[in-house]
Chains A and B, each alone.
Chain A
Amino acid sequence: MYAQQVETGVKAVKSLAEMGPEERAFQEKIDAEIKIEAKNWMPDNYRKTLIRQISQHAHSEIVGMLPEGNWVTRAPTLKRKLQLMAKIQDEAGHGLYLYSAMETLGADRDEEIEKLHSGRAKYSSIFNYPTLNWADMGAVGWLVDGAAIVNQVVLQRTSYGPYSRAMIRICKEESFHQRQGYEILLHMMRHGTQAQKDMVQDAINRLWWPSLMMFGPSDAESPNSAQSMAWKIKRHTNDELRQRFIDQTVPQLEILGCTAPDPDLKWNEERGHYDFGEIQWEEFYEVLKGNGPCNRERLETRRNAIQDGAWVREAAVAHANKKQKQQAAA
């Protein structure tokens, strides 16, 4: 999702009998649903997996500001401008909050950001798609934040305490974003002109499949899932969460009076779920590899922001040092 493919560094999940005493105590705590805290012993791979996952999540919040930055200067009314600015501010806050949770594991924010900028760390594939009309601001809120919530609601119960608490706080704001995004679309469909309705359908056509890809590869292709589940970092498989998202989203799509670009999407009475078509995994892996429509621009913008701001951060440090010296002398 925001963390779509997190390497655990583990080939096969160990049984309790195969573990040493420390690891067994750790696993028993997890099995008993007791949260792991920063000061507790944890296996090295658990720590590293969490750092990778939380940093991916944090990077996604920050890169995710860019597709919205593309429209915040063109929001059509003062109300919509305020809403979008507030959402962007929230996402920056989520990024900060997640980086802090990550730092409790001994990782360093600047180092992890450097990994992102040099292409060694990932962020959600969804933000590599362009936002091409105003309805995208509605569709991103509804589908992208919506897909994020499905994942993050479960992550509220993730085994690592600081991550779990970050998720509880963030989820509240994400569901607000989702409702707001949906309302943008609903208003355009109910009160808009034909041109506006076409914008909504166009946005859904472009963002539908990429939103489904946010849940990551299918279970068969997720070699790291088993270990992440055993550690209760993950609590449901990618396919389970994707299905849950589709099931809750299709009725909302119908209320909008729009369609999904998937001829195979239909209710399956027997399964009690919607069936849906084959996801274009080739596209997904291409985007992850850096070949999506906006990968280059997104990373370049972030890299420039940090490079162009270096003198500002240096000045702030230099000034703080001067102040400290003055105070010490006084």
Chain B
Amino acid sequence: MTQYDELTEFLLRLGDSALIQAQRLCEWTGRAPAIEEEMGMMNVGLDLVGQARNWYEYAAERINDGTDADVLAFRRDERAFRNLLLVEQPNGDFAVTMTKQFFYDAWQFHLLTILKDAKDERISAIATKSLKEVIYHLRRSSQWVERLGDGTDESHQRMEKAIDTVWRFTVELVEKNAAEVALAESGDIPSLAELPEQWLATVNEVFAKATLTVPDAPSTFYLSARTGMHTEHLGILLAEMQFLQRAYPDASW
């Protein structure tokens, strides 16, 4: 299994997370609770695939062995994917989908806000462009969390269940990581030290409006996207997403 330099791994973490989140949104096509939401989910998904492509292109340049964004997206194995475990989780009902989206959006929002000041111009440029989109994503998912949490008894219960289902995977959004500390020390990226608190503050704020309870700090072991130790869901997702590139390796699309 290929392990790239730490900055490249970090770029893949951003790109893979965006792509896998978008792939899950694509699964909703024709199945959303309202036509407005068909459009909303596709809109967010389009932004995320665009963001993934930008991160991949930069990663591919750094890898510099003839790889490109499509190869990174469609030819890597499960163990090489660096996406957050959160985004590979199945869609479940609209409550699960929206809870995942909200946790991810809040993480993206604070992370990109930090990264837009990166000294690395590429990172800064991609983060600045992505952030404009993510501000809208976070507004949308926050509003839905509020509506569903403080809507009907049923929607409230479904939200509590959804949070219970995916909360454990948020450990990756708040853990400190030695590689990222090292990247910050070497000046490749700004320090991410504040990110966990900022993320949690957004969750607290929105959950309060939504009359939802924030669970205790999550803990997991063994699983980790950083080492490609995914849940079983990612392999199936990739088998579908990568089918054409894998089945027809010589093809041009």
Q: Closest A-chain residue to B29, C-beta based?
A: A69
Interface flags, A293-325, vs B, CB<8A=1, else 0:
000000001101110111111111011101000
B74 and A76 form a contact (CB under 8 A):
yes
A301 and B31 form a contact (CB under 8 A):
yes
7 contacts between A and B (CB under 8 A): A69-B26, A72-B29, A96-B35, A187-B252, A312-B148, A316-B151, A322-B150
Number of B positions contacting A (CB below 8 A): 49
A73 and B250 form a contact (CB under 8 A):
no
A12 to B5, CA, bound (A): 78
A99 to B245, CA, bound (A): 39
A89 to B22, CA, bound (A): 14
CB-CB under 8 A from A188, the residues of chain B are: 252-253
A82 to B23, CA, bound (A): 11
CB-CB under 8 A from A196, the residues of chain B are: 248, 251-252
B46 and A89 form a contact (CB under 8 A):
yes
A281 to B145, CA, bound (A): 50
A78 and B53 form a contact (CB under 8 A):
yes
CB-CB under 8 A from B158, the residues of chain A are: 311
Task: Verify if B73 is at the interface (C-beta below 8 Å from A).
Answer: yes
A76 to B70, CA, bound (A): 9
CB-CB under 8 A from A310, the residues of chain B are: 33
Task: Verify if A95 is at the interface (C-beta below 8 Å from B).
Answer: yes
Task: Verify if B162 is at the interface (C-beta below 8 Å from A).
Answer: no
Q: Closest A-chain residue to B57, C-beta based?
A: A78
Task: Verify if B39 is at the interface (C-beta below 8 Å from A).
Answer: yes
B27 and A74 form a contact (CB under 8 A):
no
Give the residue of A68, A191, A311, A322 whose beta carbon is less than 8 angstroms from that of B29: A68
Interface flags, B25-40, vs A, CB<8A=1, else 0:
0110111111111110
A92-B39, A134-B244 known; 4 new pairs, CB 8 Å cut-off, are: A66-B29, A73-B241, A78-B49, A80-B253
Interface flags, B136-162, vs A, CB<8A=1, else 0:
000000000011101110110010000
Shortest C-beta distance, A158 to chain B (Å), equals: 23
Q: A312-B155, A314-B155 are in contact. Are A82 and B33 (CB under 8 A)?
A: no
Task: Verify if B52 is at the interface (C-beta below 8 Å from A).
Answer: yes
Task: Verify if B50 is at the interface (C-beta below 8 Å from A).
Answer: yes
Per DSSP, chain B at the interface is helix
Q: Closest B-chain residue to A320, C-beta based?
A: B147
Task: Verify if A192 is at the interface (C-beta below 8 Å from B).
Answer: yes
List B residues 53-89 near A (Cβ within 8 Å).
Answer: 53, 56, 69-70, 73-74
A314 and B152 form a contact (CB under 8 A):
yes
CB-CB under 8 A from A316, the residues of chain B are: 147, 151
A69 and B30 form a contact (CB under 8 A):
yes
List A residues 75-102 near B (Cβ within 8 Å).
Answer: 75-78, 80-82, 85-86, 88-89, 92-93, 95-96, 99
Task: Verify if B227 is at the interface (C-beta below 8 Å from A).
Answer: no
A315 and B151 form a contact (CB under 8 A):
yes
Task: Verify if A195 is at the interface (C-beta below 8 Å from B).
Answer: yes
CB-CB under 8 A from B93, the residues of chain A are: 308
Task: Verify if B4 is at the interface (C-beta below 8 Å from A).
Answer: no
Q: Closest B-chain residue to A307, C-beta based?
A: B33
Task: Verify if A65 is at the interface (C-beta below 8 Å from B).
Answer: yes
B74 and A85 form a contact (CB under 8 A):
no
Task: Verify if B94 is at the interface (C-beta below 8 Å from A).
Answer: yes
Interface flags, A191-204, vs B, CB<8A=1, else 0:
11101100000000
Shortest C-beta distance, A15 to chain B (Å), equals: 42
B49 and A82 form a contact (CB under 8 A):
yes
Task: Verify if A168 is at the interface (C-beta below 8 Å from B).
Answer: no
B39 and A78 form a contact (CB under 8 A):
no
- 5 interchain residue pairs of minimum CB distance: A309-B33, A315-B151, A69-B29, A315-B155, A89-B42
B33 and A72 form a contact (CB under 8 A):
no
A66 to B27, CA, bound (A): 11
CB-CB under 8 A from A193, the residues of chain B are: 248, 250-252
Task: Verify if A154 is at the interface (C-beta below 8 Å from B).
Answer: no
CB-CB under 8 A from B244, the residues of chain A are: 74-76, 134
B30 and A93 form a contact (CB under 8 A):
no
A56 to B74, CA, bound (A): 38
A133 to B188, CA, bound (A): 44
A187 to B252, CA, bound (A): 8
Give the residue of A92, A195, A309 whose beta carbon is less than 8 angstroms from that of B248: A195
Q: Closest A-chain residue to B28, C-beta based?
A: A69
Task: Verify if B216 is at the interface (C-beta below 8 Å from A).
Answer: no
Shortest C-beta distance, B136 to chain A (Å), equals: 15
Shortest C-beta distance, B45 to chain A (Å), equals: 6
Residue among B27, B241, B252 with the highest chain A CB neighbour number at 10 A: B252
Task: Verify if B121 is at the interface (C-beta below 8 Å from A).
Answer: no
Q: A69-B29, A78-B73, A318-B151 are in contact. Are A85 and B241 (CB under 8 A)?
A: no
Task: Verify if B219 is at the interface (C-beta below 8 Å from A).
Answer: no
Task: Verify if B232 is at the interface (C-beta below 8 Å from A).
Answer: no
Q: Closest A-chain residue to B31, C-beta based?
A: A305
A77 to B49, CA, bound (A): 11
B38 and A92 form a contact (CB under 8 A):
yes
Task: Verify if A62 is at the interface (C-beta below 8 Å from B).
Answer: yes
B148 and A315 form a contact (CB under 8 A):
yes
